[in-house]
Structure 1
Amino acid sequence: MGPTGRLFFFCSILCSRGAGLRANIGGSSDAVRLPTAGWWTSTTPLSDEPDTPLINRKIIHVDMDAFYASVEQRDDPGLRGRPVAVGGSRARGVVAAASYEARSFGVRSAMPSVTALRRCPDLIFVPPRFDVYRSISQQIRAIFARYTDLIEPLSLDEAYLDVTEDRAGLGSATAIAEAIRAAILAETGLTASAGVSYNKFIAKLASDQNKPDGICVIPPHHGPGFVAALPVKRFHGVGPVTARKMEALGILTGADLRDQPRDFLHRHFGSYAEYLYGAARGIDHRPVRAQRVAKSVGAERTFETDLSERDALHAALEKVVEAAWIRIERSGAIGRTVTLKLRYSDFRTITRARSSSQGVTDRASFLAMGLALLDQQLPIEGGVRLLGLTLSGLSAADQDEGMTASGPVQVELPL
């Protein structure tokens, strides 16, 4: 059976949309009952076995469905059922979020607005309202807190939860995930999708399996096979450039990646190799963390063709700034230090930084400081293959990127 068939097998058993799984929760819980959890630390080394000591953890990844666009459609009935993009419609604008109607035309977040309009001429642009999104995000965070203290927000619209303790006494992680999704819908009018599994890597993959308004449960005995069947471009952290490099090496699926020895991965992917080696085996020892403030917020872009001309580099930096500033506004952070990152065609990487005593409070200042840092490096010989800009020295952050370690309680809870 090919990869697609295997993937359908796992998800047809364990995934559902809407209210479909709610009726089946009681019948499926006992089949995946797990042994009591053992103590462990985030420094536990990788092994060739799929998370053997850790399969008793119960991790949920909750991801709101097209969050920003769904909020706009909720608040403006005239936008419902229509292709909507949150972001700027001007020539250098970037799509921050797209409704599912827009996605059907190929519109995606982080896409230049002009490209989005070419794909969907009837696309409706709505300016972002980050204060509203943050307020709703806090509502959702409060719902999570009814079920666990171990909440790791990744952004305003997604988070990891460790529900091993089962504070609410619902009996399974699946039941907890469904209760959370139902509460979010009832209290905010918005839908969320959830992935339930024994580690963060697989839970995040699972949450994307049955969107929108869906749930997917991957128990430990299905984890390695589930990962093996997936295209590697679906792996968190594998961007388009890395995916193309893998394709050139004949690595298309998790199974292909799993077949590669460690030395091969180190030779081609450097320090990223250990992550890939573990991910291909369904291994992820990271704990769910809470309350650590992000050290920096930014964005970077890898180019298909190396850039060396001043105008091309300036235009590229403006697009990086558009994407980075969306993340900065999401976090509510104020920073003082702007750092430029350049990776040259020979893979040398440099960073250059500049600080402002007043703090960087607007996009124009962020861009101006970035351009000044870039101009100091001109002329460039050989070309630039990656360009990035970050804001650090953050204060008053919303902590949406944040986490601090906390160990799971040792109890028995089925998925």
Structure 2
Amino acid sequence: MSKQDGRERLVSAANADDSETPILHVDMDSFFASVSLLDRPEDAHRPVAIGHRSGRSVVSTANYAARRYGVNAAMPMARALQLCPSLLVIEPDFAAYRHYSGIVMNIFREMTPMVEVLGIDEAFLDVSGARRLLGSPSQIGHEIRRRVREQTGLACTVGIAATKFVAKIASGKGKPDGLLVIPKAQTVAFLRPLPIHALWGVGAKTAESLERIALRTVADVADAPERLLVRAVGPATALKLQLLARGQDARRVEPAVAAEKSIGHEVTFEHSIADPRAIRRELLGLSDRVAARLRAADMSAKTVAIKVRFDDFTTLSRSRTLAEPTHVARRIFEEAADLVDALEIAGRPVRLIGVRGEQLQTGTDPRAALWDPDEDWREAESAIDTLRARFGAGAIMSAALLDRAAPAPSVPPHGIVRDHIEPYDH
């Protein structure tokens, strides 16, 4: 969930040039909180958090009114109530979220078949083929917002640009309940002043590496000597970041052609653990299992998701859509670890942890992608697959897993592993 509270919202003028901007990113505004308020219109303007009031509960999501008090996702509920004593805490209702998500996604598909769903509350649309029938991208964006409001009572924000990367940034800048067009000719000017974490794929670790060499804005990355970037983040990531920083993103909107599934593993510990190193080892082992099954099925995951359950049975789930789909364990682990780190759970005993690959694609060819940052790891893991097929699943493992007191890495000694291959529910 974004920490943006709407006070720096940008929207486009009616005459914004959308002649070369066929990509829309549509994102529902504080979706869970907004759905929960539909049956309580008298509370519509109150600060709201979704979660539980119990002891060590945390905020699942918060509306814009609550964010202005500093309330954000993964924050302990007790802290949220300190920041905002008038905070209305509402229990989550996942059946309602799925119901309204289905309505919204159907609206998108009424506009164009080129819909790439990113999660329960957001999607990319390519409206190139809809312009003759429905009008310009801006007109289509306004019509989507009107239909969503009319059919659900909810608000959404639309970002419109020449590329997926810029459209997603635009929707974030236009929140809440806005529409922002970034004309193709203004793409680079729009990107340059943004902080480096606006670049797709720049998490905490990459940002730290870039800031160490005094690169703090997108302009800094765009203008940096190639050799400097390569030393900081490696050749593949350096190429990716400079392309994005210069407004280049060749990825297309990719609608699902079949029912999506997810592949996941989770472990329930016999005794809860709080040691960050132990948690990371479990994430690595789970990521390895997920990746191995993806490769065996000739599939790649576009989204990495994690689940963490604490001693009090509070459960948090987070996901991240990748710039390119992957079946590489190292990439899945790094994304999963970054998601867990963002929860700031240090010191809290963890009862269960899980890793899942979602939005699966069949037969993904990494050579067709904009970049392939995991080429070396992919080759190594393919070799590991061959060894495991010949000598057994426990024949080879990451060195980081060797301090587990287990006869085989696939089943942690202190927990129960569950496997998942299930329909991906939007």
Q: Is TM-score (shorter-chain normalized) higher than 0.5?
A: yes
Q: Please tell me whether the aligned partners of residues 147 and 167 of structure 1 are also in contact (alpha carbons under 8 angstroms).
A: no
What residue is the counterpart of 2:231 in the other structure?
A: 267
Q: Where does residue 312 of structure 1 map in the other structure?
A: 275
- CA separation in 1, counterparts of 2:85 and 2:196? 32
Q: Is the 8 A contact 1:295 1:392 kept in 2?
A: no
| 1:271-298 residue CA offsets vs partner (Å, 9 max, x unmatched) | 4333212111111111111226354469
Pair 1:391–1:211, CA change in 2 (3 A): farther
- Provide Cα deviations, 1:53-99, integer angstroms capped at 9, x if missing partner: xxxx6100001111101111222234322221112344543322111
| TM-aligned CA deviation for residue 369 of structure 1 | 11
Q: Distance in 2 between matches of 1:224 and 1:369?
A: 36
Identify the residue that residue 33 of structure 1 maps to in structure 2: 19
Counterpart CA distance in 1 for 2:333 and 2:121 is: 30
Distance of 1:122 and 1:136 partners within structure 2: 27
Query: What's 1:105 paired with?
Result: 69
Query: What does residue range 149-228 of structure 1 map to in structure 2 within 5 Å?
Result: 149-166=113-130, 169-228=133-192
Deviates more, 1:257-266 or 1:66-75: 257-266
Q: Secondary structure at the match of 2:214?
A: coil
Distance 2:105 2:33 in 1: 19
Matching residue of 2:47: 83
Asked whether the equivalents of residues 195 and 204 of structure 1 are also in contact (C-alpha less than 8 Å), the reply is yes
Contact 1:258–1:277, Cα closer than 8 Å, also in 2 = yes
Retained in 2: the 8 A contact 1:85–1:125?
yes
Q: Do residues 394 (structure 1) and 357 (structure 2) align?
A: no
Q: What TM-score do the two structures reach when normalised by structure 1?
A: 0.63
Question: Residue in 2 aligned with 1:356?
Answer: none
Matched residue SS, 2:50 = strand
SS where residue 422 of structure 2 aligns?
coil
Q: Aligned partners of 2:418, 2:76: CA distance in 1, in Å?
A: 22
Q: What RMSD over aligned residues (CA atoms) do the two structures have, in Å?
A: 3.9
Counterpart secondary structure, 2:112: coil
Contact 1:298 1:324 in 2 (8 A): no
Q: Which one-letter code corresponds to 2:104 in the other structure?
A: I
Shift of 1:253: 1.2
What per-residue deviation string (whole Å, max 9, x for no partner) do you get for residues 247-304 of structure 1? 33211211011112333223222343332121111111111112263544699xxxxx
Whether 1:283 aligns to 2:248 is yes
CA positional deviation for 1:151: 0.6
1:404 aligns with none
* DSSP 3-state at the match of 1:183: helix
Q: 1:26-65 maps to which residues of 2 (within 5 A)?
A: 27-28=15-16, 31-34=17-20, 58-65=22-29
Q: Contact (CA 8 Å) 1:298, 1:327: kept in 2 or not? A: no
Q: Is the 8 A contact 2:210 2:232 kept in 1?
A: no
CA pair 126-366 structure 1, distance change in 2 beyond 3 A: same
Distance 1:314 1:131 in 2: 36
Amino acid of the residue matched to residue 166 of structure 1?
A: A
Change in CA separation of 1:297 and 1:89 when aligned onto 2, cut-off 3 Å: farther
Alpha-carbon distance in 1 for matches of 2:178, 2:100? 20
Q: Which moved more, 1:77-86 or 1:176-185?
A: 77-86
8 A Cα contact 1:94 1:113, kept in partner: yes
Any idea what SS the aligned residue of 1:395 has? Answer: strand
Distance 2:353 2:420 in 1: 17
CA shift for structure 1 position 122: 3.3
Contact (CA 8 Å) 1:152, 1:290: kept in 2 or not?
A: yes
Q: Which residue of 1 aligns with 2:5?
A: none
Q: Kindly state the Cα deviation for residue 208 of structure 1 after the two structures are TM-superposed.
A: 1.2
Q: For 1:32 and 1:244, how far apart are their aligned partners in 2?
A: 36
Closer, same or farther in 2 for the Cα pair 1:135/1:199, shift >3 Å? Answer: same
3-state DSSP of counterpart to 2:158: strand
Query: 1:167–1:88: structure 2 CA closer, same or farther, 3 Å change rule?
Result: same
Q: 1:85 to 1:162 in 2, by over 3 A?
A: same
Distance 1:265 1:314, change over 3 A: closer
Write out the 4+ residue segments of structure 1 that deviate beyond 6 Å after TM superposition.
314-319
Structure-1 residue corresponding to 2:317: 326
> Which position in structure 2 is the counterpart of 1:233?
197
The 1:377/1:255 distance shift into structure 2, 3 A limit, reads same
Letter in 1 for 2:191: V
Q: Which moved more, 1:99-108 or 1:162-171?
A: 162-171
| Corresponding residue SS for 1:394 | strand
Q: Which has the higher contact order (CA 8 A, sep 6+)?
A: 1
**Alignment partner of 1:60: what SS?**
strand
Q: Is the 8 A contact 2:262 2:422 kept in 1?
A: no
CA change 1:95–1:242 in 2 (3 A) is farther
Number of aligned pairs? 306
Where does structure 1 lack aligned partners over 5 or more consecutive residues? 1-7, 35-56, 300-308, 329-338, 348-363, 380-389, 401-415
Unaligned runs of at least 5 residues, structure 2: 1-7, 267-271, 283-305, 320-329, 338-349, 357-399, 406-416
Distance 1:138 1:391, change over 3 A: farther
TM-score normalised by structure 2 residue count: 0.62
Write the letter of the residue equivalent to 1:396: P
Residues 391 and 266 of structure 1, relative CA distance in 2, 3 Å threshold: farther
Q: Percent identity?
A: 35
